[in-house]
A and B are shown apart, each in its own frame.
Chain A
Amino acid sequence: MTVRDTISAVLLLTGTALCLLGALGLLRFPDLLTRLQAATKTQTFGLLLVLAGAAVRLEPRYAAALVLVALFQVITAPVLSQLFGKAGYRTGAVQRPAMEVDELDERLRAEGGQAD
């Protein structure tokens, strides 16, 4: 195995292990919001590591497209998690009594509007 292969192997194994941890969190966590954390971390960091591991072994001009995929994931994952959290809050999938701080509720009471 060359040095490149070793770096790629470490990155691939770390990334996939993180994916497994994320799936474990998705299964074990009690609430939509906590599951969201597990899923989003896998989406960003786990996939970034796997992409890096693949990019190390590919030719540089093909690795550029992988950077594009990575950039896209980094941009879209927070947007999606925001949407999930908001929809969960509105539809009652989030356990509000379990929350330590509920800033959205305070803000909604102050403004007298709907969460949107």
Chain B
Amino acid sequence: MTLVVSIAFGLLSLAALLTLVRLVRGPSTLDRILALDMLLVLILAGVCVEMAMSQRSLNVALLLSVALLAFVGSLCAVKLAERREEYQ
């Protein structure tokens, strides 16, 4: 199981790295918001892997709150980006 968890964390880290490249490169604000959203999903997946490893459920509340925050945050950011581009 330790090996499996290590591989899973490695894959997730690589995914986060690729997402960070997209976050830096853009090109539009919406691409960046999408990359940030993806990063939060990768964090959720990482917390899940940690829970599977330790077999304890201390992080369920963290999981729920991050999922909620990711949704509301992305929603507001998209609306804001849309409106800002409109008025330019």
- Chain A residues 1-33 with CB under 8 Å of chain B are 1, 5, 8-9, 12-13, 15-17, 19-20, 22-24, 26-27, 32
Q: How far does the Cβ of A88 sit from chain B's closest Cβ, in whole Å?
A: 5
Interface residues of B: mostly helix, strand, loop or mixed? helix
Give complex CA distance A72, B44 in Å: 13
**What residues of B have a CB within 8 angstroms of the CB of A73 in the complex?**
67
Contact (Cβ within 8 A) B11 A32: no
The listed residue with most A CB atoms (<10 A of its CB), out of B8, B71, B85, is B8
Q: State how many residues of chain B have any CB contact under 8 Å with chain A.
A: 46
Name which residue of chain B comes closest to A65, CB basis.
B60
Contact (Cβ within 8 A) A22 B45: no
Give complex CA distance A92, B30 in Å: 10
Identify which of B31, B44, B45, B52 contacts A35 (C-beta below 8 A). Answer: B31
Name which residue of chain A comes closest to B3, CB basis.
A9
Q: How far does the Cβ of B41 sit from chain A's closest Cβ, in whole Å?
A: 5
Contact (Cβ within 8 A) A26 B28: no
Contact (Cβ within 8 A) B64 A68: yes
The listed residue with most B CB atoms (<10 A of its CB), out of A8, A16, A24, A54, is A16
Contact (Cβ within 8 A) B1 A23: no
**What residues of A have a CB within 8 angstroms of the CB of B8 in the complex?**
12-13, 16
A-B contact pairs, 17 of them (CB 8 A): A19-B12, A19-B15, A19-B41, A20-B11, A20-B15, A26-B22, A27-B18, A35-B31, A39-B38, A50-B45, A56-B52, A65-B60, A69-B63, A79-B75, A83-B78, A87-B79, A87-B81
User: Which A residues form the contact surface with B (CB < 8 A)?
Assistant: 1, 5, 8-9, 12-13, 15-17, 19-20, 22-24, 26-27, 32, 35-36, 39, 42-43, 46-47, 50-51, 53-54, 56-59, 62, 65-66, 68-69, 72-73, 76, 79-80, 83-84, 86-88, 90-93
Closest 7 CB pairs of A and B: A62-B57, A23-B15, A91-B85, A87-B82, A23-B18, A93-B28, A54-B52
